[in-house]
Structure 1
Amino acid sequence: MTFSIRRLPSLTARWHSTLLHSLLSSQRRCYSKTISYDSKLHLPTDPQEWTKVFKGSTRINHRISLRNPTTAAAIADAFVPEGSRDKVIIEAYPGPGQLTRALLDLPKERIKKIILLENWESYIDWLKPLKEADPRVEIVEMDPFLWDTYSHVSELGMLDGVQKMEWNKGVHPQLQFISHLPSTVHSEQLLSQFLRYMPDGNWLFAYGRVPLSLILSEHLYREPQRVVAAVTGTARCKLSIVAEATASCTPTLDFAATQPYDQHFYPLPSLRRMAIDMKKDVRAIGRPYRTMTVVPLEDQLIGKGQMDAWDFCLRRLFVKKSTQLKEVINLLAPNARVLITAVTNPNLPESEQLDVSKRIKDMDARDWSILLKAFYEWPFRPLDLTIHDNYASSLRSL
């Protein structure tokens, strides 16, 4: 590593002393205009150097990555806490690998293998030195958004030796999925797919109740409470219901641990640009990011093979989410009003009855499970569960 000297701007004595201390105490910091990180084993420590090192990364500005090493260390310890043993971790969207480095710095008995899924070349260049330095690291240069990527991981034998556990035997103690979720609609699609695979035990859930450790936007987590929406919240949506029916979604660290954005993450927009974008777009760079742990429920409210039916009913009825269920039940199919009788049968235990005066957006996951049970038992339920593209728009015009 080389250091070059340049004239420092005029500073107060206090700030000059602080800056000089930083230069002397950190072997990884470089204040030259041309930066040389020969091994790329260590990431820059100065925030502004990230922009220089990853020049041209505006093409993937939606790829939010941890930058602050102290924050990364705290998150790593929370994701893989003391007591963990021989974890096999799939880390998607690691970026240049600040969190990866923090995971590798944990006591070695906690992690047996880390499989990195990254497809951006400039980031891969900063991950390869980790593989060279630590035999626990594997790199798959493929897009984590594509499901073929995960099939490829299995085909390469990277999950050989990972035990498949029965669903009722607890959370999987070895296999774990960790990911930064992009600040795009793709993050919602990914999270939705993760949740939808749980009831049938597909994807990684073929190995059992595999926990997901996520770094995601506050928009997706709570603003507007897409996953952990309050039952009567205006933001309650299809994703909220599926999440409630399939998994426990809880914060890993306090929200304050990753705030404000510019102290912890990359890319770093200018304050002016950030202020403008945040007024226009809930997914703008600079909006808060946080951590979340997702653990599949042992008792899934969505039965095996029923995800398509849940999706059909949710999409049909959420078009009129502010309307009472009894008023919109026929949106499921002609003569679907017979389901009202089925779910309000006084001979049923109270826990199996449904208040059909509830608005769609006020129904919780257990309400939906009662409705879906009646729907499945209805002999005249539609067999074609396809929803055409013009369905929602035609209903909103009514």
Structure 2
Amino acid sequence: MVHSLHATLLRPAAAWARQAVRPRVVLAAAAVRASSSSAPAAAAPAPAPAVAAAPVAEPVAPATGTDAAAEAEPKPKRGRPPGERARKNAANAAALEGSLEDIAGARAAFEKHPHWTFALHHFEQLREQRRKEHEDSGDTEPIDRVSPGEAQALRELGVPRVKQFRRVPMSIFRELQRGGYEPERIVEVLQYFDANNRSMPPDLYRHSMTGRISASATRVRRLPRQPPPPPPELGPVLHADPYDNFPEHMPPLDQWRHELEPKILGYLGKGRYFVRSRSLAERIVEEMDLDGKQGVTVVEAYAGVGSVTRLLLDHPAVDKVLAMEDNPSMLSFLERLKTDETLSRGLPGDRLYIEKGNAYRWTTYERMRRAGAFDHLQDPAAVQDGGFVMGPVSPRSHDAPDWQKPSSIIFLCHLPNSVHGEQLYAQLVAAVASRGWLFQYGRVKMVVLCSEALALRALAQPGTKHRHKLGVTTQTLTDVREAVEPSELTPLASHIYPCPLSKELLSAEKVDSLERDRAAESRQHRADYRLRKSLIVVEPKAQPLLVTREMEAFEHMVRNTFVLRSQPIRISMEHLAPGAINVLRKLHPDHPDMQDRQDEAINPDTPVWSLTIKQWVALSKAYDKWPFRPKMLLDEFSVFKERSMNRQK
């Protein structure tokens, strides 16, 4: 057994020696021939002709003795010096066959290869076990030679596996040794790692950063990734016929470019548009819920060219349409409806009233009232009480009979994509609390074609990123729902005109309605987010949660607390007024007065945008009763600025 081990280690050394000696003999012979040919001709005897004519294999040029010696020296090889491998093999063989002291002295040769280090470690363990057994037996003879069993174990665990584990990194071997694993276990791990595409066994885990090897049970695993939710079922798309000449009082579609483009300058800059598809116009009339009603009056703001106005005049339930438009280029097409004989109910006559004014200004409604546009809505009881006064506050209360029953007035608005459009919507919703504006005539339903951004804020639920003051005010005073989603109006250019030139809005691909909840990073996406359209229906509550005297404190509190809408409500109340944090103490869930009203109780650590409508109402009422709240809650400068802007229009 030992003899075979020697042959395995020394055979490469003998082969290298045969290859190394042969070039030296050839070079030595060449050097002798070169030195003999360079001797002086006078000193040498005259050669015989036969000898002189002897053929020479390769002619050698005359050279000095120094040049010949330089050519005779072998060129050094790159890498390992000659004979080093043979010397190491001999030292390893002597160490394996020598005594215990020789093996300890030859450790430096084995440590240069990890698997030989492992073999030597296992061999030393066998030697130590044998030494203990030898001492226990009482034998006094020293142990100088390697036993056949030790040599067999050394050969099986060490030398034959050097080529087998050639793909195993040294770091894995050292980590296994540092972990105190048994030699047999180390060999199993190395075999598994080499045969399974450099992966660890299932019961072991190697850290990707530190390289430490530990049991898989101690590994901190991530939670399994949840499968994505199934895609929602999208509603039907409103298909628009591109060849439908709608509305009929307009020129053909192929002439719009010449008829409307010169007049549309400044129209799109103000965020204005009008409905151009019959399917969208019919859907708007359908959401008004006119079936089964009689004597309905529709107040249409920003009527445009009168595409929806035409369908309203043809509907049998509509008694009168009050259309407002301030753009001169659109008024010329809107006034054609007065003389249009193609209407199903004939010429409109008094059923159509056109007001040349902006629906954003309160003076427009006052001018309509003085012109008698609302005379058919006043009942005798109202006239005896002094009539209706168009202003911010109405003497009527929400307990009146005209408020409890459905109103015969419907307000339709094509809301512009501008700041003034959002301000108009906020003012109309706030007028519900005071029964101002058209709410003097009853509980008026509002159908608004607005941008997707405004619809998201009006419909935002607690805890969502779109939750803001506009949504809290809308849901406190009214019941709002989304009648037409933006995904149904695809492509948008087929439903409204003029349409902003956007690649996404002009595409015929339907957009998922849930896609609007994602974060909008690009500038174009933010622009499309504001330009996409949505139809919402806003109906005032029969009993609003707040009345006129409480709206001032509510507006002041909501406007200022939503500045820090992601912060806890206690932090926002500290910025509201000095000592305003004391208002939250009466609304704490542990307060005795809140035991029966837990749905109105407020935890001070609740974020501002996570408060429910009932919590906002309870907080505003408590803030209104707080004796130390500021008395001047309305910014006079903002009111003066808004009035000056209205005068400039």
> Equivalent of 1:51, from 254, 257, 260?
257
Partner of 1:7: none
Check conservation: 1:90, 1:177, Cα contact below 8 A. yes
Name the amino acid aligned to 2:496: F
Name the amino acid aligned to 2:549: G
Query: How far off its partner does 1:352 sit?
Result: 3.9
The structure with more helix, counted as a fraction of residues: 2
- Unaligned stretches of 5+ residues in structure 2: 1-240, 340-346, 380-399, 507-521, 639-649
1:171 aligns to 2:406 (yes or no): yes
Query: Please, what TM-score do these two structures have when normalized by structure 1?
Result: 0.80
CA distance, structure 1, for counterparts of residue 501 and residue 609 of structure 2 = 38
> Equivalent of 1:148, from 363, 366, 374?
363
- Unaligned stretches of 5+ residues in structure 1: 1-18, 30-39, 391-398
1:124 aligns to 2:352 (yes or no): no
Partner of 2:445: 211
Check conservation: 2:600, 2:614, Cα contact below 8 A. no
Name the amino acid aligned to 1:373: K
Q: Secondary structure of 1:295's partner?
A: strand
Shift in alpha-carbon separation, 1:41–1:87, aligned structure 2, 3 A? same
Q: Secondary structure of 1:385's partner?
A: coil
> Equivalent of 1:112, from 312, 319, 324?
319
1:344-355, aligned counterparts within 5 Å? Answer: 344=588, 345-348=591-594, 349-350=596-597, 351-355=599-603
Range 127-136 or range 235-244, more displaced? 127-136
1:202 aligns to 2:446 (yes or no): no
Check conservation: 1:269, 1:286, Cα contact below 8 A. no
Query: How far off its partner does 1:386 sit?
Result: 3.3
Partner of 1:86: 295
Name the amino acid aligned to 1:161: H
Q: Secondary structure of 1:59's partner?
A: coil
State the Cα deviation string for residues 276-298 of structure 1 (Å, max 9, x = none): xx934745599321211110011
Partner of 1:250: 481
How many residue pairs match? The answer is: 347
Partner of 1:364: 612
1:64-103, aligned counterparts within 5 Å? Answer: 64-103=273-312
> Equivalent of 2:427, from 193, 198, 205?
193
Q: Secondary structure of 2:467's partner?
A: coil
Check conservation: 2:280, 2:495, Cα contact below 8 A. yes
Partner of 1:238: 469
Partner of 2:495: 264
Instruction: From the CA coordinates, give the structure whose radius of gyration is larger.
Output: 2
Q: Secondary structure of 1:177's partner?
A: strand
Name the amino acid aligned to 2:249: H
Name the amino acid aligned to 2:477: T
Partner of 1:294: 538
Q: Secondary structure of 1:227's partner?
A: helix
Partner of 1:311: 555
CA distance, structure 2, for counterparts of residue 252 and residue 186 of structure 1 = 23
Check conservation: 2:249, 2:337, Cα contact below 8 A. no
CA distance, structure 2, for counterparts of residue 285 and residue 93 of structure 1 = 22
CA distance, structure 1, for counterparts of residue 526 and residue 438 of structure 2 = 30
Check conservation: 2:492, 2:505, Cα contact below 8 A. no
Check conservation: 1:171, 1:295, Cα contact below 8 A. no
CA distance, structure 2, for counterparts of residue 169 and residue 266 of structure 1 = 39
Q: Secondary structure of 1:183's partner?
A: coil
CA distance, structure 2, for counterparts of residue 235 and residue 389 of structure 1 = 28
Spell out structure 1 runs of 4+ moving beyond 3 A: 163-168, 253-257, 268-275, 278-287, 386-390
Check conservation: 1:237, 1:318, Cα contact below 8 A. yes
Task: Give the % identical residues.
Answer: 25
Shift in alpha-carbon separation, 1:283–1:192, aligned structure 2, 3 A? farther
Query: How far off its partner does 1:255 sit?
Result: 4.5
Partner of 1:337: 581
CA distance, structure 2, for counterparts of residue 71 and residue 101 of structure 1 = 13
Check conservation: 2:288, 2:410, Cα contact below 8 A. no
Name the amino acid aligned to 1:82: D
CA distance, structure 1, for counterparts of residue 446 and residue 468 of structure 2 = 21
Name the amino acid aligned to 2:255: E
CA distance, structure 1, for counterparts of residue 300 and residue 490 of structure 2 = 23
Query: How far off its partner does 1:258 sit?
Result: 2.7
Name the amino acid aligned to 1:252: A
Q: Secondary structure of 1:82's partner?
A: coil
Q: Secondary structure of 1:58's partner?
A: coil
Query: How far off its partner does 1:56 sit?
Result: 3.2
Shift in alpha-carbon separation, 1:307–1:51, aligned structure 2, 3 A? farther
Partner of 1:183: 417
Query: How far off its partner does 1:163 sit?
Result: 4.8
State the Cα deviation string for residues 301-331 of structure 1 (Å, max 9, x = none): 2222222211110122111111111233222
Range 303-312 or range 246-255, more displaced? 246-255
Check conservation: 1:354, 1:370, Cα contact below 8 A. no
Check conservation: 1:131, 1:139, Cα contact below 8 A. no
CA distance, structure 2, for counterparts of residue 383 and residue 333 of structure 1 = 11
Query: How far off its partner does 1:256 sit?
Result: 4.5
Name the amino acid aligned to 1:210: V
Shift in alpha-carbon separation, 1:326–1:269, aligned structure 2, 3 A? closer
Shift in alpha-carbon separation, 1:148–1:328, aligned structure 2, 3 A? same
